[in-house]
Amino acid sequence: MDKAQTTIQITGMTCAACANRIEKGLNRMEGVEANVNLALERASVRYDPLVVDDAKLEQKIIDLGYGTIKQTADSNENAGDYKKQEIRRQQLRLAAAIALSLPLLWAMAGHFAFTSFLPVPQLFMNAWFQLALAAPVQFIIGWPFYVGAYKALRNGSANMDVLVALGTSAAFFYSLYETFRTLNPSGHGAHEAELYYETSAVLITLIVLGKLLEALAKGRSSEAIKTLMGLQAASALVIRNGVEQRIAAQDVIAGDILLVKPGEKIPVDGIVLDGSSTVDEAMLTGESMPVEKRQGDELIGATINKNGALRMQATKVGKETALAQIIRVVEEAQGSKAPIQRVADRISGIFVPIVTILAAAAFAVWYLIIEPGELGNALEKAIAVLVIACPCALGLATPTSIMAGSGRAAELGVLFKGGEHLESTHHIDTVVLDKTGTVTKGKPELTDVRTAAGFEEKRLLSWVGAAEKNSEHPVAEALVTGIQARSIALPEAEHFEAVPGFGIEALVNGQQLLVGTRRLMEKHGVNVQKAEAEQQELESEGKTVMLIAVNGQYAGMAAVADTVKETSAAAVARLKAMGLEVIMLTGDNERTARAVAKAVGIERVLAEVLPEQKAKAVQELQAEGRKVAMVGDGMNDAPALVAADIGMAIGGGTDVAIEAADITLMRGDLNSIADAIRMSKVTMANIKQNLFWALAYNVIGIPIAAAGFLAPWLAGAAMALSSVSVVLNALRLQRMR
């Protein structure tokens, strides 16, 4: 049985160790494959519904000591509300912590020579006053750290909360011990208390500040999803039982008849029943020019109707719309893990126990060897080591970059199906392009008309159009569309007959008309020898030529072609400039394929390849040691898309394109291929920067702290800033052009 999929929003995670623990706990369940993303605070789970269900998965997370947000149709909104509330709580905690910690920080300033000029009220130096300020910070504002540490230790692991709870508790309780010693029951004079209340209070304040900044920055990194969701129409004007009524767009059902007025967003996917207009589809395709829409044309939800009223029928609603599928793909990509993240996961999994041992060693060395008997100083060094070594930055290094990179790519019209594809795309060295619908527009167009002596072009085309409009052949459709685009009126044909494989015979305005191949002309005894040179010239350009005869006499020819997209040549040149080899792979005939390839600057062509042979052709390229990206329309190219190292589907986010390919290029522009490769390259560079600095920070910071060159409050500030800096570095990806 196929596995089911679900996404669970998790609350209470504080660092990479939390994410690892939940992931391991879920994966130990039978039939479960889970991936927990710290940056998104979300678990993506595939599971066997015969063994477990959503309720059991959520209960497992709760048993591990964390919370979940109930999954509903509005889960994203619920998660957003929770995050807003959490940020508000963090702000209140921070305000209270600052108010209580400032006098302690002020008192600490009085101990330094370089700040001795600052007047310090005597009250601030009183041990009991400091206790009154520090206790609420330690046990009310800092309570979540104790809860998190307890849950972690109860489950046989350790996380950031353990480090914070250990470090701040050591400082607080040592200070508490010193405070009680000031009572001096022995009567041998006043005891000079050695207090570290400011260490515990300022540490907690700085960590809360860091968490707040981190939450705000992480909120910005998921802007792509919010932007996409904001594109959805809020309401729809529906006709039910003959009555027009305005309803919420989410309440539209498939089959509903809708009215879309000029300037309104199209609520859902559908087809035009009546009316004509132009529609701005830039949100989906990136094309700035509006697209004309008439009866029978497809409409995409969230695009904007520009200047005409349309009556449409809803075909896809809710999660089936193109926009909903785009959002789903971006969410899955942002929630997935790139293989490089395994490095960070392995390190963070053993990090906290190692740091705890290092802190204990630092304490022992200082207390027993460097400054024998100086408990306070030894404790300070151990606290600094515990605090500076928090693995948050390491845990955030990869997921924040994946979120920002895949989100920005989506805004550019490139949908990565998962983090692994975002990681591997920049290794591509060969790009294989399908011809029809990829390099070309995928729709034949009338390109050339040649007339014989004695025949006037406009009249001849009106007869041809009148005859061909009765045919369903794609070439006939191209001829009729091209003739109508020239504002030529079409009379009615008095007789029409299609001759399969040859063309058509028709009677129009009393004229006996033949339109088709040379064999059709020969069959009817029409001499077309004088047209041979022109026909070969046009066919050498990859065009399909239809010969025309009127009353048994050669009258001219019309050529149609699947024309090259305006941007294809520039895109191929751009790919070559990036050092990539570009190959065309098509089922078309050799002559046509080479004509198209020449027009866009492609030298190597594999023509007349059947769909089932395309995958083999890709595999043969891979056997040469190439990393191959296959680019096609996601339907007849599906086997090759799957066989390639990276499959890229050109299209509008259809099910087939998304399922067959690793990447969907929402715009028809081949420049999206270079955009995808470049986004992969810069995202991987960003991840490596984050991992390097997160590791370097700990490698450098821990010895400095252990050597006594870093006060605990400075260690706390450095720890908070390291996490924030990683997220801010990832956010640079959102500015990539």
Residue 426 one-letter amino acid? H
Sequence-ordered list of residues with C-beta below 8 angstroms from that of 470, at least 6 positions apart, any chain = 493, 496, 498, 504, 506
CA-wise closest residue to 7 among 56, 61, 71: 71
CA-wise closest residue to 532 among 523, 521, 126: 521
DSSP string, 597-662: HHHHT--EEE-S--HHHHHHHHHHHHHTT--EEEEE-SSTTHHHHHHSSEEEEESSS-HHHHHH-S
Distance, CA of 400 to CA of 422 (rounded, Å): 13
CA-wise closest residue to 504 among 545, 471, 550: 471
CA-wise closest residue to 675 among 688, 659, 664: 664
Question: In DSSP terms, which residues pair with 10 in a beta bridge?
Answer: 68
What is the separation of C-alpha 561 from the centre of its chain, rounded to a whole number of angstroms?
36
Distance, CA of 277 to CA of 306 (rounded, Å): 7
105-124 as b/e: b if 16+ CB within 10 A: ebbbbeeeeeeeeeebeeeb
Contact (Cβ atoms closer than 8 angstroms) between residue 322 and residue 284 = yes
Using DSSP bridges, classify how beta strands 646-650 and 663-665 pair: parallel, antiparallel or unpaired: parallel
| Residue 611 token pair | 């769909």
∠ CA 183-184-186, nearest 5°, is 145
What is the separation of C-alpha 163 from the centre of its chain, rounded to a whole number of angstroms?
34
Sequence-ordered list of residues with C-beta below 8 angstroms from that of 221, at least 6 positions apart, any chain = 39, 400, 403, 404, 407, 727, 730, 731, 734
Task: Tell me which of 434, 588, 637, 662 is the catalytic residue.
Answer: 434
Distance, CA of 330 to CA of 664 (rounded, Å): 11
Distance, CA of 101 to CA of 716 (rounded, Å): 14
Residue 284 one-letter amino acid? L
Helix (H, G, I), strand (E, B) or coil at 555: strand
∠ CA 285-286-289, nearest 5°, is 95
Contact (Cβ atoms closer than 8 angstroms) between residue 43 and residue 36 = yes
Distance, CA of 330 to CA of 419 (rounded, Å): 10
> Under the phi-then-psi rule, with left for phi > 0, alpha for psi from -120 to 50, and beta for the rest, what region is 572?
alpha
Sequence-ordered list of residues with C-beta below 8 angstroms from that of 593, at least 6 positions apart, any chain = 435, 542, 584, 586, 605, 607, 608
Query: Does 434 participate in catalysis according to the annotation?
Result: yes
| Residue 561 token pair | 């072609």
Distance, CA of 317 to CA of 250 (rounded, Å): 8
φ/ψ of 77, rounded to 5, equals: -70, -40
DSSP string, 563-579: EEPTTHHHHHHHHHHTT
Q: What H or E segment, with its residue span, contains residue 433? A: strand 430-433
Distance, CA of 274 to CA of 297 (rounded, Å): 10
| Residue 591 token pair | 């002559």
φ/ψ of 578, rounded to 5, equals: -85, 0
Active site residues: 434
